[in-house]
């Protein structure tokens, strides 16, 4: 049995969020939450939200699901749209920069 959850338009670059996601790939769900709780990256809080949502979806899908047996089977971080912004520069000029967004998908399944 497999369940998934997706969070879209998360502010943060996919490269930085993948650093957090790689810590929990293939781990048990309770172990993954503990790892994310003590990770000092800003994206860890968003990943925990999506992981808890995937666990709730698995429980909703099948009442006989044992949460202790679930593990993170697949996890993806894809690039979302970019917001183009201007940063003031000296002498009346401006520099363009981009605010990146990400889409996080987590799949949990029992062994």
Query: What are the CA-CA distances from residue 81 to residues 30, 51, 108 (Å)?
Result: 32, 23, 26
State how beta strands 70-88 and 94-110 pair: antiparallel
In this model, does residue 63 exceed pLDDT 90?
no
Domain extent listing, the chain: 2-110
- What are the residue ranges of helices labelled H in the chain? 14-21, 29-37, 43-61
pLDDT tens, residue by residue, 66-110: 898 999 999 999 999 999 999 999 999 999 999 999 999 999 999
pLDDT band at 57 (very low <50, low <70, confident <90, very high): very high
Q: What is the CATH number of domain 2-110?
A: 3.90.470.10
pTM comes to 0.90
């Amino acid at each position: 049995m497999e369940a998934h959850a997706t969070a879209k338009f998360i502010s943060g670059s996919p490269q930085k969020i993948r650093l957090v996601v790689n810590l929990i790939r293939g781990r048990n769900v309770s172990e993954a939450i503990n790892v994310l709780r003590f990770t000092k990256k800003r994206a860890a809080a968003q990943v925990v939200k999506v992981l808890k949502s995937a666990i709730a979806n698995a429980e909703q899908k099948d009442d006989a699901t044992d949460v202790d047996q679930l593990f993170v089977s697949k996890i993806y971080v894809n690039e979302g749209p970019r917001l183009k912004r201007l940063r003031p520069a000296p002498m009346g000029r401006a520099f363009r920069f981009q605010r990146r967004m990400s889409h996080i998908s987590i799949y949990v399944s029992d062994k």
